[in-house]
Amino acid sequence: MLQHFDLFIPGAAKSTETLTVYAPYDRRPIATVATADQDTVNLALNNAHSLFEDRSRWLTKERRLEILKKTAELMAENFEFLALEAAKEGGKPLQDSRVEVTRAIDGLQICIDVLRTASGSEIPMHLNSASAFKLAFTHYEPIGVVAAVSAFNHPVNLIVHQVAPAIAAGCPVIVKPAEDTPLSCFHFVRLLYQAGLPEEHCQCLMTRDTDTTGHLVTSPLVGFVSFIGSAKVGWMLRSKLAEGTRCALEHGGAAPVIVAEDADIDTMIPKLTKGGFYHAGQVCVSVQRVFVHQSIAGIFSDAFTEAVNALRVGDPELDSTDVGPLIRPGEVDRIESWVNEVSSFGTLIKAGGKRLSPTTFQPTLLYDPPGHCKVSQQEIFGPVVCIYPYDDIDEAIRRANALPFAFQASIFTKNIDRAMKAFNQLKASAVMINEHTAFRVDWMPFSGLKQSGLGIGGIPGTFRDMQIEKMMVMHSDALKT
C-alpha cells in the first residue's frame, strides 16, 4: 500500500484531490499526497498570520534552540530512512543522499549557532547636540510569515535551508515542496512536530499548479518569500509580490570552469567529474562549460573521458550507483534532443551521448560544441559537460561571462596572478580556485546574479533576511521609574 500524506495545516479538511509521487528511476508509484486549493491556502495563511500578530504565542529563543537541537537528534536517529527516501523520490544516488542528510543535520547546527549568537547593537549617541542625552540600540524581530517554495534536487537539505532559518528567526513558515519530491519535506516537518514545534509555526502543503502557488506567495499576509526553482517562474512570482514583501530567489546557472595550461590534471579530473555529474548534473552550480587551454586540451579531454566512462549509471537506491536518473522522462527527451542538435553540426562526442533507458542518460562529454547551440547557451541541468579550447585567459574569461547567468565559477591554475585575475574578472558570486563550481558548505554565502537569482542564501544569510532590525531611541533624562 502506498504511503499517503495529508496536508499539514491545522483545521484543514481532508482533501479529496491528490497527486501521485513516482520514483524517477523506474517510475513506480511510491506515495500519494493531498493537494491544497486556494481556500486551503487561505486557511494556512490566516493560521500563520494570526500566530505572528499574537506576540504571546511567539516562541522564546530558548525554546527555538531546544526544538532545533531535538530535530537534529531525530534526524540522526532516522538517518538511513531519510537518505533512502530522498534517493527513492529524487533519484540522487544513495551514497550522495547520505551526504545530503548529513549536511541537513549540520545545517540545523548552523542555525543553532547563528541563533545563539544573534544580537542587536548599540548606536553611538552623544556625538552632537541633537544626540545628547540619547540612548539608542537595535534588536531583531521576525519579518513575518514566510512562504517557502522549494525545488526537487536536494529534497532534504533545501527544505532545511528554507524552513530552519525561519523557525530560528521566529517566523511562521508555510512550505511548498517540489511536486516531484514532497516526501522528504513532509518527513522533516513531522520531525519538527515531534521535537515540540507547534503545528501553526510550520505548515506544509502541496499544490498542483502555479496559480495556487502564486496565490500563496503573492498574499499581502506574507512578509518574506524564499523561492528555489526556474528563473522563469521565480521572476514571474517576484513581479506579483505584494508591496513590501521581501524575497530571495535561487535559480539556475551554466557554471564555467577555466583550466589554465599549468593546471594539475591528475588532481583536477576527479573534482570536475564529481562537480559535473553529481546528481546527473541536476544542480544549479553543476560544472557545465569547461574552457581548457589549447596546449593541454587533448590530454585533458582524454583524461576526463576516461573518468566519465567509469561512472556507473543505475538504480539510485543501490550503493554502487554513481549517477542516477533524471527527474522525469521528459528531461531525458530534452537532453537527447540537445545532444542530437550538436551532433548534427559535427561536434565530437567524447563520452556518452545516448539514452540508456526512458529515465537515464549516459554521462556525456562534448568537445567544442557550436556557440549557438542550446548546450552552449542555456542551463543543461543534466549529465552533460562541454569542453571548449581557448588560446588566452582573456578569451576564456570573456566567454565564461557571455551568458545571462552568474552563480559560481572556478579556475584551475598554479599561478596566483592568474587566479586573482579570474577572481576579479569572472562574473560570479563565488570563484573557486582549484575546486569545482559545485563546492559548497552550508554556512557560506550562496547567491545567483543576473538571471540566476536575487538575495544571499546560505543559512546565516537566510536567517538575517527573515528578520528586521528594529531600533529604539530614548531620551534618557525624560524617563522615570
Pinpoint the alpha helices (H) of 78-220.
79-90, 94-117, 157-169, 183-194, 210-217
Residue 48's closest CA among 205, 173, 176, 229? 173
Calpha distance 375→384 (Å, rounded):
8
Q: Which three cell numbers stand for residue 174?
A: 508555510
Q: Does residue 247 have an active-site annotation?
A: no
Q: CB within 8 A of 44, min separation 6: which ones?
A: 9, 12, 36, 174, 203, 205, 216
In angstroms, the CA 38 to CA 56 distance is 29
Contacts 24+ apart (CB under 8 A), 35-40: 35/205, 35/206, 35/207, 35/208, 36/7, 36/9, 36/12, 36/205, 36/206, 36/207, 36/212, 37/212, 38/212, 38/215, 40/7, 40/9, 40/12, 40/13, 40/15, 40/205
Catalytic residue chosen out of the listed positions 171, 202, 247, 284:
284
| 250 in catalytic set | yes
| Active-site residue identified among 250, 317, 331, 379 | 250
Rounded to 10 degrees, what is the CA torsion of 298, 300, 302, 308?
-150
Backbone angles phi, psi at 342, to 5 degrees: -70, -30
Compute the distance between CA of residue 178 and CA of residue 213 in angstroms, rounded to an integer: 11
Residue appearing with cell numbers 505584494? 242
Furthest C-alpha separation in the chain: 84
Catalytic residue set: 250, 284
